[in-house]
Amino acid sequence: MTTSPLAELSTHVADLISRVHLATTLADLQADEPFLIGKRSVLSSLQKSLGALAPEERKAAGAQLQEARRVVEEAFATHRATLERSARSAALEADRLDLGDVVLAQVHAPVAVGHPGIVAATQRQLEDVFVAMGFRVSEGPEVESDWYNFEALNIPPAHPARGMWDTFYVDLGEPETVVLRTHTSPTQIHLMERAVADDSLPIHSVMPGRCYRRDTPDARHLAAFHQIEGLVVDRGISFADLAGVIETFTHAYFGADISSRLRPAYFPFTEPSAEFEITCTICRGDGCRTCSHTGWIELGGCGMLDPAVLEAVGIDGDEWSGFAFGFGIDRCAQMRHQIADMRALIENDVRFLRQFS
């Protein structure tokens, strides 16, 4: 009696299936494919050997072998799908890690979006205080003619008061006729001229902006700095209104514990004129380097509009009166944040700037 060629079929099938599972990568499995289910598989040689069987035996054996092949092929396909899936998720994992790095990088080192600088932020806060007090906000040009910066403000050419403002001249037109504005006061003139032209008096405005002076920077001065100008032109305005506005502003912006004082001063465009000082916030009045040991810091000047200025812009001084003030925005930032040396504002040291975000 001959042994059926399929006597050990189940052992072969078990061997083939465990060999299928030995492959740990798709490439291994693919390389082994001819030996597992291809031409060089034991299943193929068994197939060939069936030819020697009698026809009726061959049919049964054929069916048996086909079932065996189906089982092995199924194991092969299942394992291939598993390997494919893990290859794919490994690839995805690699991609995800790349993406993860990017996302992590963004979380840990966010693109610096910045924030308004301390001076810009201070300007906005000052505007807010004055808007709350009923003022409007206007702006004027930084490059002015001599007329706006000086003459219309009652400072004729060669007037000794010009020495109060060390001026940068712009090389344009006749020599010394175009200047970088030395204060925001020329914007008063623009506003009054416009109000006369539109017949839109009264005026209650503040005018912030950048100014320039040929000053050597020190703890309290910068050559390019910012002022906020105030202008009121109305009927029956007195010095008491001016003093009230200054006092209200000081408490609103610096707090109840900081006082203001007005000291007689001279400005060609106001009469009477005063200097506007507040308690030094660095030393709280005790005296320090920043306030030159006086306990007070000068914020700016103010006064009642000089009739000569009203006349220069064509406003009837019998009907209208008013006051103006102008003070340093940088100086306010310095006092509010107790910055001993104002030069820190322009050094762009991020360690300093970040403190005010």
Residues that bind ligand PHE (CB under 6 A): 183, 185, 267, 270, 273, 300-303, 324-326
Contacts of 151 (CB under 8 A, 6+ apart): 157, 312
Of 154, 213, 220, 204, nearest to 323 (Cα)? Answer: 204
The helix/strand/coil state of 138 is coil
> What are the angstrom distances between the C-alpha of 195 and each of 3, 90, 181, 205, 313?
121, 74, 21, 12, 10
Least distance in Å: CB of 120 to ligand PHE? Answer: 20
Q: Which is nearer to ligand PHE, 296 or 325 (CB)?
A: 325
Q: Which is nearer to ligand PHE, 227 or 290 (CB)?
A: 227
Q: Which is nearer to ligand PHE, 5 or 301 (CB)?
A: 301
Q: Which is nearer to ligand PHE, 101 or 166 (CB)?
A: 166
- Per-residue three-class SS string for 37-69: CCCCCHHHHHHHHHHHCCHHHHHHHHHHHHHHH
Least distance in Å: CB of 192 to ligand PHE? Answer: 13
Least distance in Å: CB of 229 to ligand PHE? Answer: 6
Least distance in Å: CB of 137 to ligand PHE? Answer: 16
Q: How many CB atoms lie within 10 A of CB 250?
A: 21
Q: How many CB atoms lie within 10 A of CB 144?
A: 23
Q: Which is nearer to ligand PHE, 36 or 189 (CB)?
A: 189
Least distance in Å: CB of 213 to ligand PHE? Answer: 9
